[in-house]
Structure 1
């Protein structure tokens, strides 16, 4: 049984990392349907291996009842994640830290259709939480005999799997992963982590582009004469470059 659980850990932790390495090595499209379906396959494999670990497997991976305290913890975690996603990049800029914020990747995501972006958000929320929190922490603490070890390993591997976002963005990724792992450790709820992950990614990948599109449309409707007459009211339409405070895109 232990060998089976260890195999699941190899899938949940090594699978996404291998996928990132392969896509980078061969310059593949990491946002393609094929790569996203591979994440679903990895999550399904981890799910099956967890189900074969015994009768208590739903509790091990956090598939428990989602109560009011879990909901409250989830809301607090979402607020903290979004606050950090906005504050950390600004702080690093003020400190003079240089590095990519993964804007190229985010611009590619922003150019995709809204339904496909919704698919990306859903995929990241469900598969990554199943792999990194549900299995890596839930099952990992049983295999390694330590919640702390499982927590740290999951955190570091999650950050490593998002290395394509750029060095500067990894601080935000670390912050979000830390809070997500704490949320799982405190609630033992996979559902809480999925909801929180979906909300944070939806903010940066669905809501922000929608608001930018509305602002561009509003700016386009204004006549040059009107904008010139009232420069204080003129609105500069944003470019396709994502705001620095947007949460990092899914890898």
Structure 2
């Protein structure tokens, strides 16, 4: 990695891992805001803007391919691992619920209830946005670039993991974030093992579609 690429990479890492914190502070998005369609649209716009800026840095400044951040041809085995990751991740929420309840903390259920109040079209938008852009911002790019700078894949994955989990605290609360933190271990391992971001996107989209679309639909038919 030459000097120009290193500078571009540091800027890219700020866009991926630092700018989301800055924007959250400036915009002041609160948990209850995610039940307001206009705020949801703002969130979606923010995520896609950051992702496209980051992709621009990769292609135009670093002069590297999308494969360098894990966006590459996906095999059936990658897809299978993505589905398996979704199943394991879903069980992780079930297994961590007793712990969170024992600590007297709220689970992800409260956040899901907030999102269930917005139109389904916006929920689909959130599912696709989070599943695609967050994997670019918090998995593929930072893990690959920090690894390129340090030569330590484990450290790279850990840093990306910590930032991703911390960003969930304002909306999901401490209890929900604990659950998401356990889930994030699964998807981080999936990326490190497969080095294919599309497999992680599939796992993420399936998880969020189940939580934000299917669960609210089931809930409305319950007595």
TM normalised by structure 2 equals: 0.88
Deviation at 1:63, TM superposition (A): 1.3
Q: 1:99 to 1:92 in 2, by over 3 A?
A: closer
Q: Is the 8 A contact 2:108 2:179 kept in 1?
A: no
- Alignment correspondent of 2:24: 20
Q: 1:50 to 1:108 in 2, by over 3 A?
A: same
Alignment coverage as a number of residue pairs: 213
- Alignment correspondent of 1:117: 123
The higher radius of gyration belongs to 1
Deviation at 1:122, TM superposition (A): 0.8
- Which ranges of structure 1 fall in alignment gaps of 5 or more residues? 216-236, 238-251
Distance 1:71 1:103 in 2: 28
Q: 1:27 to 1:83 in 2, by over 3 A?
A: closer
- Alignment correspondent of 1:87: 95
Q: 1:154 to 1:117 in 2, by over 3 A?
A: same
Distance 1:7 1:62 in 2: 19
Instruction: Check if 1:9 corresponds to 2:13.
Output: yes
Q: Is the 8 A contact 1:23 1:29 kept in 2?
A: no
Instruction: Check if 1:139 corresponds to 2:145.
Output: yes
- Alignment correspondent of 1:130: 136
Partner deviation per Cα, 1:153-184 (whole Å, 9 max, x = no partner):
10000011000211111121111211111111
Instruction: Check if 1:38 corresponds to 2:42.
Output: no
Q: Give the match's secondary structure for 2:71.
A: coil
Q: Is the 8 A contact 2:8 2:57 kept in 1?
A: yes
- Alignment correspondent of 1:228: none
- Alignment correspondent of 2:86: 78
Distance 1:22 1:85 in 2: 31
TM normalised by structure 1 equals: 0.79
- Alignment correspondent of 2:220: 213
Deviation at 1:102, TM superposition (A): 5.0
- Alignment correspondent of 2:168: 162
Q: Given the alignment, which residue of 184, 187, 199 partners 1:180? A: 187
Q: Is the 8 A contact 1:43 1:131 kept in 2?
A: yes
- Alignment correspondent of 2:71: 63
- Alignment correspondent of 2:209: 202
